[in-house]
Structure 1
Amino acid sequence: MSYSIFKDTMSDMSWTEIQCSIDKGAIVLLPTGVIEQQGPHLPTGSDIYVSHLICRKIKDQLQKDNIECLIAPPFYWGINAITGAFPGSFTSRKETVKNVLFDIFECLTRWGVKHVFIVDIHGDPMHGEALYEGIMAGRESLGIDIRSVISHWIAEDLGIHPENENFLIYTVEMSLEDFPAPKEYLDIHAGEGSTAQMVKFFPELVNVDLARQLEPANLNHDDLKKWHQGGEIARNITPLGYFGAPADFEKEDVDHLNLVDAISKFATIRLKEYLKR
């Protein structure tokens, strides 16, 4: 089986099909992310594979309610300040990310698109800043409604006000019983959670045998603070590139706690509310 990040996007459509969809009032979902190392067992394209998958799931759910939707070609030339010391972690300058995003927004505006929603799962703070500044520039200069779709968890963690016009914040309606007990060590990057999700949705891209052999990183919050400094410091803390316990992926109950489906479901609910306001 092959996996294409162009599947169900504008890249697989003719220009006339795109124009017809825009004429019907289509919103645009823009999957963003990065190409970065994800340990020795996962592909470097994991982030963009997942953000693209979430957009496809959102589009499918919106279309069931007759909401016209297009998915833009994924944008994956982001910033990897934390993992940039590893081969495979492509990183761009902030101004490059902002400018290319602005060019994308300008094209969509010129074609008649009114609403653009960014779906991003990459956690690098500098990457997030570039997206935010690109969104603000597009809104201010082009007059188009551009928002980053984020969960209430992220909004609360970053202190983002619910009425901030640069974001569309959705609530993940899950109880504490839905989550496993807190772990002594952190699962931050390419650990058990990410590995389990990739095995579920993109099994042929995961080196499962290798994942089972990897020792847990056993890193805590103090280690995380140092890791966030990035570069060689981050590489020294996680020499194989993962921050978690990849070998424990089979202990993760992905069918019960499927974050990809949860994000898609609750983001869709919020999008429907917003578009019908």
Structure 2
Amino acid sequence: MPGRPSVWIHELSWDEVEEHLRGDDVALVPIGATEQHGRHAPLLLDTGWAVTVAQAAAELAGCLVAPPLHYGWSHGHMAFPGTIGLRAETLTAVAIDVGECLVRHGFRRVLFVNGNRVANLAPLEIAAVKLRLGTGAVTGVADTGLLARSAVGGLAEGGPGTLGHAGESETAMALAYYPHLVDMARDAGGFTAAATPAESGRVRHGHLSLDPRLDGDSVLLPHLPEEFRARTEARHGVAGDASRATAEKGRAMVAAIAGRLAEVIAEVRAMPVAELRMPPVVG
């Protein structure tokens, strides 16, 4: 007996995609990264965010999802073996190429789902703007770290800063969806909650915060990969609190983010589409 059709484009036949396009024109494009997330978690974690959120949102909204991209802008983690990244301009170009292919086939609304939280944001925002200007399609970027900050922050048990890189939320997601790839016995522990901007009186480094409790004045001061490794050496590349992570919390966080993305999809469906300009065949 036939199973339920997949939401993943690469798991369908071409005629099933063509049939779907007769009733819906939204496509999600999950983009993650292959980069270190401490000793306790796998390098696929960022792609995991993009995949789990995109699939859950697509099932809620009834749209399709393109194959995930496992590479992102991971320059800050290149001091850790196994990390594989793209240049910012390459990531932008790849996202545009993927988007143009989808538009050519009839997907008039394309949303990039960023799992490399915040880090991929600038290249993907540029791609979304260029794709919209070049084709007329409705485009956007949904960042899994920013889309439901309040809900995810409310689910966190630790103090400000626990949601950082490979910390409470990221490890919780991995425990929920990739438990066979997580070894909590290898977490270094020893996390101290970060002071809020009001408490420290300092300008926070980084323009965007995943944790609403850390909002405040900010500045971007890029670090070298070696500097990040040295700064987090005692915790093996972790900048949050993995010890508070649970699978239950991870499922709740993904559900909250996916629910917000489904709301965005509904909003995007209501937006008018300009006269489409057919992009060139990629070649």
- Taking structure 2 as the reference length, the TM-score comes to 0.75
Q: 1:196 to 1:145 in 2, by over 3 A?
A: same
- Matching residue's letter, 2:9: M
Tell me the equivalent position of 1:51: 50
CA contact (8 A) 1:80 1:124 kept: no
CA contact (8 A) 1:37 1:89 kept: yes
Tell me the equivalent position of 1:166: none
1:95 aligns with 2:85: no
CA contact (8 A) 1:115 1:146 kept: yes
Q: Root-mean-square deviation (CA), in Å?
A: 3.0
Q: 1:39 to 1:182 in 2, by over 3 A?
A: closer
* Identity of matched residues, %: 23
Equivalent residue for 1:146, pick from 127, 139, 142? 139
Tell me the equivalent position of 2:237: 241
Tell me the equivalent position of 1:3: none
Structure 1 segments unaligned to the other structure (5+ residues): 1-6, 64-68, 155-169
Q: 1:181 to 1:217 in 2, by over 3 A?
A: closer
* Alpha-carbon distance between aligned partners in 2 of 1:172 and 1:232, rounded to the nearest angstrom: 29
Q: Deviations over 1:82-136 (max 9, x none)?
A: 21221122111122111111111111111111001111132354x2111111111
Structure 2 segments unaligned to the other structure (5+ residues): 1-5, 196-201, 207-220, 272-283
* Alpha-carbon distance between aligned partners in 2 of 1:136 and 1:78, rounded to the nearest angstrom: 18
> How many residues are aligned here?
244
- Matching residue's letter, 1:133: I
1:199 aligns with 2:153: no
CA contact (8 A) 1:228 1:234 kept: no
- Matching residue's letter, 2:192: N
Query: 5 Å matches for 1:99-178?
Result: 99-125=93-119, 127-150=120-143, 154=146, 174=151, 178=154
- Matching residue's letter, 1:254: K
Q: Deviations over 1:34-57 (max 9, x none)?
A: 111011111100111121111111
CA contact (8 A) 1:27 1:70 kept: yes
Tell me the equivalent position of 2:249: 254
Q: How many angstroms does 1:199 deviate by?
A: 1.0
Q: 1:248 to 1:12 in 2, by over 3 A?
A: same
1:77 aligns with 2:71: yes
Tell me the equivalent position of 2:164: 188
Q: How many angstroms does 1:23 deviate by?
A: 2.6
* Alpha-carbon distance between aligned partners in 2 of 1:174 and 1:193, rounded to the nearest angstrom: 11
Equivalent residue for 1:209, pick from 185, 191, 195? 185
Q: 1:273 to 1:95 in 2, by over 3 A?
A: closer
